[in-house]
Amino acid sequence: MLTAAGYAALAASTLVIGALLAYGLNPAPRVTAVIMAIGSGLLIGSVAYDLVADATGSLPVLTIAVSLMVGAFTFVLGSRLIERRGGRRRKNPTGAGAADDDRPLAIVLGSALDGIPESFVLGLSVLSGGVSVPLLVGIGLSNLPEGMAASSGLRVQRWPLRRVLAMWAAVVVTSAISAAAGHELLATDDGTLTGIVQTFAAGALLAMIADTMVPEAYEVERMWTGGLVVSGFALSLVVAALLG
């Protein structure tokens, strides 16, 4: 359980790193967009070859399809509610969303919505003997631009760094708890419930990638976004082959 929580906290800690980079270096939006696009590809690879592939051994195809759709629609509905409260474009590489809305609670809730299924599945992966490295790297890379983007907007609004770091620390703790819960709740499962949780989270992750990460990256990077996403996908295969 502690191992699962530790991995989730490690992946979510890039939110804090992103905030420090935003306040210390003020990186160009294009740098953030490139990281976001590569992270999208890594997560797509993890969904395809870790989450869904694992579930095919314990669930029928129809159940997998339904679970994917339920996860996706759950994310979309939750995301829309958060957007209405000021969390829209929380992953925008320019930081414009946070600067315009100045709703830190919505940013925190949005990040938790993104991070809970990711962290839950990280906890599951530890049960199989070791964490999924492509998933771990993909989550970390997806969180980094989110921390950079949202924190850039809050920096414009003259938020003190300590307050921003406290905000992200709350998300890190939530992610760690989610991973520990995933590890403990399904430790004795025969594979059925685990497969449902995996595919539910996979659907939520795919919806997040399509709904926020790729569009926001494309808005800034444009021409190279597609190639960068595929590069991240290819990288996930290489990482899995080398470290899986």
CA distance 230 to 232: 5
Find the largest Cα–Cα distance for the chain.
Answer: 52
Q: Which portions of the chain are predicted below pLDDT 50?
A: 99, 102
CA distance 135 to 42: 7
**Would you call 229 helix, strand, or coil by DSSP?**
helix
> Which pLDDT belongs to residue 94?
61
Q: pLDDT tens, 112-152? A: 766 777 787 777 777 666 677 777 887 887 788 778 877 87
Domain residue ranges in the chain: 2-243
> Which pLDDT belongs to residue 102?
46
> Which pLDDT belongs to residue 107?
63
Does the reported pTM lie above 0.85?
no
CA distance 244 to 241: 6
